[in-house]
């Protein structure tokens, strides 16, 4: 499974910290891989807001392993 970067890490300003980069699965760009707080989540961006969460894990590698194991992406 390959990822493509959709947005880069950006500095939000003094006291605000930074936002993490966002990724998408190559060939299925509608599935976004994002870090929300301390967790990594896979989200189907074609679904209405709040209903597209596919899976989550503590690390990006664990999330990708979970997606590959579940065969969400063929």
pLDDT in tens, 13-68: 877 778 888 899 998 889 999 998 889 999 999 998 878 899 999 999 999 999 88
Q: How far is CA 30 from CA 1, 13, 39, in A?
A: 14, 29, 19
What are the residue ranges spanned by the domains of the chain?
3-70
- Is pLDDT above 70 for 72? no
Buried-exposed string 33-49: b where 16+ CB fall within 10 A, e elsewhere: bbbeeeebbbbeeeeee
- pTM beyond 0.85: the answer is no
Alpha-helix residue ranges (DSSP H) falling in the chain: 60-70
**Which tops the pLDDT comparison, 70 or 63?**
63
Can you give the pLDDT at residue 60?
92
């Amino acid at each position: 499974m390959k990822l493509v970067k959709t947005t880069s890490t950006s500095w939000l300003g003094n006291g605000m910290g930074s936002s993490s980069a966002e990724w998408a699965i190559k060939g299925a760009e509608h599935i976004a891989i994002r870090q929300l707080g301390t967790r990594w989540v896979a989200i189907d961006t074609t679904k209405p807001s709040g209903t597209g969460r596919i899976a989550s894990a503590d690390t990006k590698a664990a999330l990708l392993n979970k997606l590959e194991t579940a065969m969400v992406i063929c």
